[in-house]
Amino acid sequence: MSFTRSEVKELRKDLEAFLSTYKGKYELRLKNAKFGVSTTFQLEVLKETIDKNGKVKYPTEYKAYLDYAFIHELPKEVLNKEFKLSGKTYKILGYKSKARKYSILYSENGKEYVASPSYIKRFIQKAFPELSL
């Protein structure tokens, strides 16, 4: 039995709602569905990201941002800080070192996306004018 794209979208919403109950304790990511003979989802489970003192325990992308942000002249200070632009809440989450074009991981109103460093740089310049880029 194979799922249609609309069925997968509904299933994804249900799975994201279920996984949100574990937010803060574990970092859980539901990756894109793959269609073929069968439809598959990938669930990525990382170690705890926030300890009892509220400190981040550096998941892979978080640490990669700290290591590689200078390549794209992105400030480290904005990592994991929420900022508002045009009524939406954004948060820079990390750097995907294997991605060539869309390497910055960010969230917009709680939903995760990837973007190019130049796109994120424009956001940062508008949200944090005191930082010189």
0.75 exceeded by pTM: no
**How far, CA to CA in Å, does 9 sit from each of 14, 17, 115?**
9, 12, 22
**34 or 110: which carries more pLDDT confidence?**
110
User: Residue 12: which H helix or E strand, with range?
Assistant: helix 5-19
* Distance between CA atoms of residues 99 and 118, nearest Å: 14
**How far, CA to CA in Å, does 44 sit from each of 19, 27, 59, 133?**
11, 8, 12, 33
Q: Please report the beta strands in 47-117, taking only residues with DSSP state E, as ranges in sequence order.
A: 82-85, 88-95, 104-108, 111-115
Burial of 97-127, coded b for 16+ CB within 10 Å and e otherwise, reads eeeeeebbbbeeeeeeebbebeebbebbeeb
Give every strand in the sheet of 88-95, ordered side by side.
82-85, 88-95, 104-108, 111-115
φ, ψ of residue 57 to 5 degrees: the values are -100, 45
pLDDT in tens, 28-68: 777 666 766 677 767 666 655 555 665 555 578 888 998 99
- Quick check: 117 pLDDT over 90? yes
pLDDT in tens, 2-32: 677 788 788 888 888 887 787 766 667 776 6
